[in-house]
Structure 1
Amino acid sequence: MPIIIHSKYKNKEEAILQLVANFFNEGDMIVAGARNTIKSNFLDDKKVNIKFFQKPGLFKSIIYSFFRSTKAKRSFDYANYLTEHHILTPFPIAYIENRNGLGLLKDSYYISEQIDYDFTIRELIHDPLFPERNVILEQFAEFTFKMHEAKINFLDHSPGNTLVIKKADGKYDFYLIDLNRMNFKKLSIEERMDNFKKMWLSKTMVKVIAKAYAKLSNEPEEKLHIILLEKTIQFKRKITKKKYLKRKIGRK
């Protein structure tokens, strides 16, 4: 069971391995998903999250074993990249890969520090009367711009994957989670706007985001508004169509 640990936690290897060994018997459940399970527990006096990635099918096991990094490794590596570029994310502690005698991946774990947050972007998206909604959206646009400037394309940039903490000075901190799908390159303005599409923005929110992003990028506000609105509408139509087809097939 190979383990890679951040230098900050190098002296905690035995305790980290113990957390993983007792994963199914200890800790508080956060997410009990079909493929992944997340629990919280304590590493000495530090509260941490442990994400368990279940054993993939044979084909994916071969891919993750020999051709592509595992989800646990990507989560750890990407968290380190974000941290190095001053993009907030729960601090990466370690990842562990469990393999069989042939070197094929069985399952894996990613351990990070626990973030006690106030809300996610999802709550704000679904509540038009959310306090300081436009202020938060403007700051979220700034956060995303900073991420794009660091050549980060977060493919799962969706409402539930950004944790928000309200600061005393009226500012908000944004933390990215569920990190295993990213790529890194210089992004065109079209690609930058496309990165917002999964946020499920209303027309009002599109206007706020476009205006804030335009100020930061020195791009015309009208241009960004047109692109972002088009990307958002296209995405919503695509998801709505998928749901409709699933319902239709389910009735047969």
Structure 2
Amino acid sequence: MQNLHLNNKFEHLKTEILDCITHFNTKGNYVTKGDRNVIKSFKVGTETLNIKSFKTPKLINSFVYKHIRKSKAKRSFEYAEKLISQSILTPFPVGYLENSSTTGLTSSYYISKHVDYDFDFRVLIHNPLLDNRDEILIQFTQFAYKLHENNINFLDHSPGNTLIIENVAKYDFYLIDLNRMQFEQMDLTKRMDNLKRLWLSKKMIRIIATEYANISEYPFEEVYRLLMQSSQDFKRRINRKKYLKRKYLKKKK
């Protein structure tokens, strides 16, 4: 059983989009090739579309995604529409496709318009001498504050999931990898916890905390303390996992 849902503006490309998905393994150009998910770009008419293929779910998840919970592809599409309705940038959602059997979901794909971006947030981490780095961080903080004020808790707020486009004295921020979000009011603790995955340096934390306090009613000392605490706790947890994994692999040899 196949369920294809397309934005009305792209209904005329239905046949071509289906062909791209049918021949996903042999056509298209890789954008990312991960262990779990694969993204490829395809030229469809005058458009360049990115198609994300989600990993085939295990038996229990397969049943859940068909009968209980929305698939990752459908969530990505609906969340993208919601972001756009609140003037939050994300690659335009074209549609999604779900394949299922009698037992559950077998595969799913999310389709969006390709975005030519200049760099992603990871560059700010790895290149502290980047031109206008402080200004980019200030504008990113304004973007993050807008998310929080719109009750958008982006659970995958990691460095690779914010694309950045440079305009004249202004930067546009696009969110990607959208299937994990909660729409809820957030207190300051939850807001700062939302930024912990960005792997921020102490200098970056100070810049972000200063701007967040400037544009909100929250005092700088509290913003800084909570962001520093969340960020350091997250780093310690990830580094400990890596250490234990290395230790385990060394034991196995």
Query: TM-score range with shorter-chain normalisation?
Result: over 0.9
Counterpart position of 1:133: 133
Contact 1:3 1:94 in 2 (8 A): yes
Which blocks of at least 5 consecutive residues in structure 1 are unaligned?
none
TM-score by length of 1: 0.97
The Cα shift of 1:212 comes to 0.6
Cα deviations by residue, 1:80-127 (Å, 9 ceiling, x for unpaired): 110111100000001000111x15110011000000000000011111
Contact 2:64 2:104 in 1 (8 A): no
Counterpart secondary structure, 1:222: helix
- 1:179 paired with 2:188, answer no
Within 5 Å, give how 1:224-243 maps onto structure 2.
224-243=223-242
- 1:28 paired with 2:29, answer yes
**Identity over aligned pairs, percent:** 48
- 1:148 paired with 2:152, answer no
Counterpart position of 1:49: 50
Q: Aligned partners of 1:26, 1:243: CA distance in 2, in Å?
A: 36
State the one-letter code of the partner of 2:125. I
Within 5 Å, give how 1:22-171 maps onto structure 2.
22-100=23-101, 102=102, 104-168=104-168, 170-171=169-170
Counterpart position of 1:203: 202
Deviates more, 1:131-140 or 1:32-41: 32-41
Counterpart secondary structure, 2:129: coil
Deviates more, 1:210-219 or 1:91-100: 210-219
Counterpart secondary structure, 1:2: strand
State the one-letter code of the partner of 1:250. L
Q: Aligned partners of 2:249, 2:23: CA distance in 1, in Å?
A: 40
- 1:5 paired with 2:6, answer yes
The Cα shift of 1:185 comes to 0.4
Counterpart secondary structure, 2:95: strand
Which blocks of at least 5 consecutive residues in structure 2 are unaligned?
none
Number of residue-to-residue matches in the alignment:
250
Cα deviations by residue, 1:53-74 (Å, 9 ceiling, x for unpaired): 1321101101111111111001
State the one-letter code of the partner of 2:137. L
Contact 1:164 1:172 in 2 (8 A): yes
After superposition, the CA RMSD in angstroms is 0.9
State the one-letter code of the partner of 1:81. K
Q: Aligned partners of 2:110, 2:160: CA distance in 1, in Å?
A: 19
Counterpart secondary structure, 1:236: helix
Deviates more, 1:15-24 or 1:130-139: 15-24
Counterpart position of 1:248: 247
Counterpart secondary structure, 1:108: strand
